[in-house]
Amino acid sequence: MSFYGSRGRGSWRGSSTGSSVASTTSSYSSRGGGFSSRGKSSNWGSHRKRNDQEGPDISKHPLGQLLRTISPSDLNLDADQEHSISISNSEYVASYNWVNEESSTITIPGRPPRWTPLQKSQRLAEDKGDFFRDPNGARYPTHPAEPAVKAILELNPNYDTSMIDIVACGSTLGHILRFARGVDRPFRLTLDVIGNTVFFVRKENNPKELLKNVHGYGHTFLDEYTTWDQDVKGSESHQRLIQYELGGLRCVVRFEVDGYLGEKADVAAREAKSSSSDADSLTGLDDLISAMGATSVCTGPLSSNDTLTTRVAGSSVPQASIFDIKTRSGKYQKNIDMSDILPVLWLKQFPNFIIAYHDGYGLFKDIREQDVRADIQAWEDENREGLHKFVALLRKIVQIAKDNEGGRLDLYSPSAERLEIRKQHVDDNSSTLPPDLRAVWEGNTSEDGAEEEVENDSEQGNTGHHNFPIDSDSDDASPDYTACSPDSCGYCGRCSY
């Protein structure tokens, strides 16, 4: 069984500017292919019940001792406007690709697939195969943050880990953001303090839980309209890590990138070459990748049943070129509702968004490339109160985790009215990082020590995390994943446009 279903892209298929694709900077149109009105409420502060998604199974995975509860009223008291709710100083840190092999394998820094739309639309086959809710956990649940940390330290040997307050993924931050905006969707995640950093770790009921009743064309669309470059062929997904400041906290956020726009990457590369500092930085990264060796392979047993392999391949792409994709049926000419999508694009700092509509049977004729930076800024401006609650909640969680001396904690929300911080149950033996890599992160503050420890750890291998969009067209009672994603809703099956 494939961990990712049929996400592997095919060969190059022609022009990168297919005739069916419209590129725009205006995100809202009066037609079914555009976005809904910006003035539409994004429901900050309201309570939107969504209990059709399976919540945390506390009978299978019991809760530990309750330490503290947080309610929406606590956030109202703490949202004192003191800290900025704008994301600043955003920059690329590292990246890696999951490779389609029997053993768990990643390439660093990897590269996303290139956007190569078909010159002529053709009807696509419906998605088929098994799709894990959390492919990273399915591959290797024991050390879920290892691939991200390894990628960071391989590409940045002198990285000062002591300056980072939070390491998270789009899914875990999305949970916190939804609670702050009053969305009633239960969740559970783990908090692990390593050095000066709080790791927010995803926690599913079963690492190998499958998505049920998957319908649509989202995966086959990506197969046909994006292409892995030659040096990263055989990849399954691209994971990107960016670093930014939010509310006085320095955050590293990992997320999946659906692809990149070649033309925008070329423009950004030319602009970088015109800046001596940027050019020096890019040259330094290229030199480091060359020194690591394109055929370098590091393997090491991470459990009795798995071995992880790390290879060097690919190159980083500019943030300005990456995009996220959603596909859906345009059968009923409905505008896409961005109220659940813009918060996720904001968290991940995506500048580009592609929405692809088909006729209900897999023929895509309305594909729109959107520059959403202005829309994301407008969303931020309209939701300042809710974002202040989000920042207040993040700061509170970080402080509680750092003040705790009893090990890892669980963050559990049974409803929109209650967030619980608990000790981890005694039967939970999972760990965020293996001991040697944990020691590297805890002590990686000086140039000499950091470089030496990373070199010593390079034999331990890597693992990774994969998130992907699902498209659906079911008109019956079955879950409709068209508007869903793991980060925006956790595949609730009930998202609407």
- The count of C-alpha atoms lying within 13 angstroms of the C-alpha of 422, restricted to the half-sphere facing its C-beta, is 21
Pick the range with the lowest mean pLDDT from 40-44, 137-141, 146-150.
40-44
Confirm whether 150 is domain-assigned: yes
Please say if the pLDDT value at position 475 is more than 80: no
pLDDT of residue 201: 93
pLDDT at 250: 99
The amino acid that residue 36 corresponds to is S
How far are the Cα atoms of 128, 410, 472, 474, 480 from residue 477, in angstroms, in the given order? 19, 34, 12, 8, 8
Q: What pLDDT is stored for residue 285 in this prediction?
A: 53
Residues 296-350: tens digit of each pLDDT:
333 333 333 456 789 999 999 999 999 999 998 888 767 788 988 999 999 999 9
> Which tokens sit at 316?
């980083």
> What phi and psi values does residue 63 have, to the nearest 5 degrees?
-85, 150
In sequence order, the 6+-apart residues with CB closer than 8 A to the CB of 87 are: 244, 245, 246, 346, 349
The pair of structure tokens assigned to 73 is 């009223």
**DSSP string for residues in 69-92:** EE-HHHHHHH--S-S--S-EEEEE
Residue 90 — very low, low, confident or very high, per pLDDT cuts 50/70/90?
A: very high
Report yes or no on 173 lying in a domain.
yes
Lowest mean pLDDT among 46-50, 105-109, 325-329: 46-50
- Whether residue 436 lies inside any domain: the answer is yes
Are the CB atoms for 483 and 492 separated by under 8 Å? no
Local structure of 389: helix, strand or coil: helix
d(CA 214, CA 284): 44
Q: Which three-class secondary structure state does DSSP give residue 257?
A: strand
In this structure, is residue 407 part of a structural domain? Answer: yes
CA atoms within 13 A on the CB side of 338: 27
pLDDT at 61: 75
The pair of structure tokens assigned to 11 is: 């060969």
Q: Would you say residue 408 lies in a domain?
A: yes
Across residues 134-142, what is the average pLDDT? 69
What is the pLDDT at residue 481?
46
Helix (H) or strand (E) holding 328: strand 322-329
Task: List Cβ neighbours of 267 (8 Å cut-off, separation of 6 or more).
Answer: 320
> Could you tell me where the DSSP H helices lie in 226-324?
262-274, 276-292
Report pLDDT digits (tens) over 482-493.
455 555 555 455
Q: C-alpha 183: how far from its chain's center?
A: 20
The predicted model gives 180-192 an average pLDDT of 93
Range of the domain at 385: 21-457
Min mean pLDDT across 206-215, 240-249, 410-419, 446-455 is at: 446-455
Residue 4 in this model has a pLDDT that exceeds 80: no
CA dihedral 442, 446, 449, 453 (to 10 degrees): 50
Number of structural domains in the chain: 1
Q: Which helix (H) or strand (E) holds 199?
A: strand 197-202
Say if 6 falls within a structural domain: no
| Distance from C-alpha of 490 to C-alpha of 486, rounded to nearest angstrom | 4
Q: How far apart are CA 93 and CA 86, in angstroms?
A: 19
Local structure of residue 119 (DSSP, 8 states): S
- Are 249 and 36 a contacting pair, CB within 8 Å? no
Share of residues in the chain with pLDDT > 70 (%)? 68
Give residue 55's pLDDT.
77
Tens of pLDDT, residue by residue over 230-276, are 999 999 999 999 999 999 999 999 999 999 999 999 888 788 777 65
- What mean pLDDT do residues 182-205 have? 92
CA–CA dist 68, 188 (Å, integer): 15
450-461 mean pLDDT = 35
> What pLDDT does 13 receive?
35
* b/e map 414-438, b = 16+ CB within 10 Å: bebeebbbbbbeeeeebbbbbeebb
Domain membership flag for residue 9? no
Sorted by sequence, the CB contacts under 8 Å of residue 277 that are 6+ apart come out as none
Contact 186, 56 (CB under 8 A): yes
Which residue in 417, 428, 423 sits closest to 401, CA to CA?
A: 423
Rounded-to-integer distance, Cα 153 and Cα 151, Å: 6
Q: How far apart are CA 117 and CA 22, in angstroms?
A: 11
Rounded (5°) CA angle 139-177-496: 80
466 or 226, higher pLDDT: 226
In sequence order, which ranges of 79-156 are alpha helices (DSSP H)?
A: 135-139, 146-155
Q: Among positive and negative, which fits the CA dihedral 243, 245, 250, 251?
A: negative
Query: Per-residue confidence at 495, pLDDT binned at 50, 70, 90?
Result: low
HSE, CB side, 13 Å, CA atoms: give it for residue 101. Answer: 17
- Residue 395: which pLDDT band, with cuts at 50, 70 and 90? very high
Q: How far apart are CA 315 and CA 286, in angstroms?
A: 8
| Cα Dmax for the chain | 61
In a domain, 482, yes or no: no
